[in-house]
Chains A and B, each alone.
Chain A
Amino acid sequence: MKKLGTMKLSRIVPLLAAGLLMLPAAAKAEGMPQLDFSTPLTLSQVVWGAIIFIVLYIMLSKTGLPMVASVLEERATKIAKDLNEARAAKASADAGMAEADQATAKARAESQSAINAALEEAKKAAAAQAETLNARLEKQLHDAETQIAQARASAMSAIRQVATETAVTVVSRLTGATPDAAQVDSAVGSALAARGLG
């Protein structure tokens, strides 16, 4: 630590000594040199200072500062442009997104309607098929009923004849005499009517 201090010292001492030597020997004026008006330098530095300041002001305001301003402006413009481009890109991406969404929705609606139409058609076809089937069955049923009714009617008419013949045969066998046909017929007719078969 102390070694470091002395090392620095050995470097700084000559500097300081040189600085002190640079001052003129007669520099030890009474009071502050800043208020020593016996030398014209105190005021002449102000005149020179004014000239230097004015030149610096002109140089800065005409060249130095506009240079900085132009660079800053350029950057601001570039940033604004890039931002605008980014915004435009985002807008177009959003538009594309919306378009895609719309297309999806449209496709979904179309497929739904196609499904509905197919379903409707299938239902209609099934209904038509069922109707024809029904009609055929109905007709078959009707035919069957008709046949049954005919068979029944023919059977009924046969009953009378069979009954009459049976009655004639029974009477002739029992009595040996052939009964009057009209009498037998009316008796069979009333007997059948009494049983509800006439």
Chain B
Amino acid sequence: MAAEGSNSIDALGQFQLHPALGAIGGSVNFTQSNLMMVIASVAILAFLYLGMKPRAMVPGRLQAAAEMGYETIMSMCVETIGGHEGKKYFPFVFTLFFFILFGNLMGVFPLFFTFTSHVMVTLALSLTVFILVTVVGIKEHGLHWFTYFVPQGIPKALAPLMVTIEVISYLSRIISLSVRLFANMMAGHVMLEVFGSFIVMLGGLGLLGYFPAALSLGVNTLLIGFELLVATLQAYVFAILTCIYLHDAVHLH
């Protein structure tokens, strides 16, 4: 990144992985990224367990939030994938959505690592979705599933070209799904880091630097709000695209 004399801004260092949980974690290559995944998972489970514990007829705040999360994802599944199948894949979509959402949101907190900013993690997630969608498609339709790559009503001469394009677009889902999430999260955190560094550097310049430093702080405040939006939006996009892909696999167009 841009180096400014001796005070270089290390915008990418925040994505560096290092072992967590001391010597035991180090011996099994357990990273701080995985620690955040565990914290996210525990938070999700706690959200549901503690939220639903009262089992109230008229829900309190936390219970209402938990129910809203449940019903939002449920309606997304049912409306996008379709009634019966939607309910079938609902737990997977729910897990996916909240895993990414909590990973994204917790990453906005200072000192917290954002595991969704690692392309390998998002690639693993999108590969999971891709493999699931393909397996579901073949299981539902057998060999007929391959007609998915042949658009209807095209001239025979164009078929090879169209099929090639369709296959490439199908395969590119892996990349688009993973890179969209990873790039959004990484870009946001780089921006936060850069402006955060500005605050420190300009603030260190003395009286002259206070105003631009305060400006950078203002920008960072706005950026954090924006990051919250992006975090939620990207989790939603990942989940809804998964639903759309599942719909295609179940219904073939």
Query: Contact residues of A with B, CB < 8 Å?
Result: 2, 5-6, 8-9, 12-13, 15-20, 22-24, 27-29, 31-35, 39-46, 48-50, 52-53, 55-57, 59-61, 63-65, 67-69, 71-72, 74-75, 78
Residues of B within 8 A of A43 (CB): 120
Give B contacts to A, CB under 8 Å: 8, 10, 12-19, 28-31, 33-34, 37-38, 41, 44-45, 48-49, 52, 55, 57, 63, 66-67, 70-71, 90-92, 94-95, 99, 110-111, 115, 117-121, 124-125, 128, 182, 186, 196-197, 199-200, 203, 210, 213-214, 217-218
CB of A45 within 8 A of CB of B91, answer no
A49-B121, A56-B41, A60-B48 given; A27·B10 CB < 8 A: yes
Instruction: Please provide the 5 A-B residue pairs with the shortest distance between their CB atoms, ordered closest to farther.
Output: A44-B29, A61-B91, A27-B13, A48-B34, A5-B214
Chain B residues with CB below 8 A from A9, complex form: 199, 203, 213-214, 217
Q: Is the CB of A33 within 8 A of B15?
A: yes
- Please state if B31 and A48 are interface contacts (CB–CB under 8 Å): yes
Q: Are A23 and B67 in contact (CB under 8 A)?
A: no
How far, in angstroms, from A67 to B94 measured CA to CA in the complex? 14
B121 to chain A: which residues have CB within 8 Å? 45-46, 49
26 contacts between A and B (CB under 8 A): A5-B218, A9-B217, A12-B199, A13-B200, A15-B110, A24-B18, A27-B13, A32-B12, A33-B17, A34-B15, A41-B18, A41-B29, A41-B31, A42-B118, A44-B29, A52-B37, A53-B95, A56-B44, A56-B45, A59-B45, A60-B94, A61-B95, A63-B49, A64-B45, A65-B91, A67-B48
Q: Which of B120, B182, B197, B214 contacts A2 (CB 8 A)?
A: B214
CB–CB A72/B110 < 8 A: no
Closest beta carbon of chain B to A161's beta carbon, Å: 127
Contact B15 A18 (CB under 8 A): no
Q: Are B120 and A46 in contact (CB under 8 A)?
A: yes
Closest CB-CB distance, A196 to chain B, in whole Å? 120
Which of A8, A22, A65, A75 meets B111, CB within 8 Å? A22
Docked-complex contact B52 and A34, CB < 8 angstroms: no
Which of these, B16, B41, B125, B200, contacts A29 with CB under 8 Å? Answer: B16
CB–CB A74/B95 < 8 A: no
Known: A6-B210, A34-B182, A60-B44. 10 other contacts (CB 8 A): A2-B210, A19-B111, A20-B197, A23-B14, A24-B16, A34-B15, A39-B17, A41-B17, A56-B45, A74-B55
Give the Cβ gap from A68 to chain B, nearest Cβ, in Å: 4
Residues of A within 8 A of B99 (CB): 53, 56
What is the distance, in angstroms, from B10's C-beta to the closest C-beta of chain A? 6
* B111 x A45 contact (CB < 8 A): no
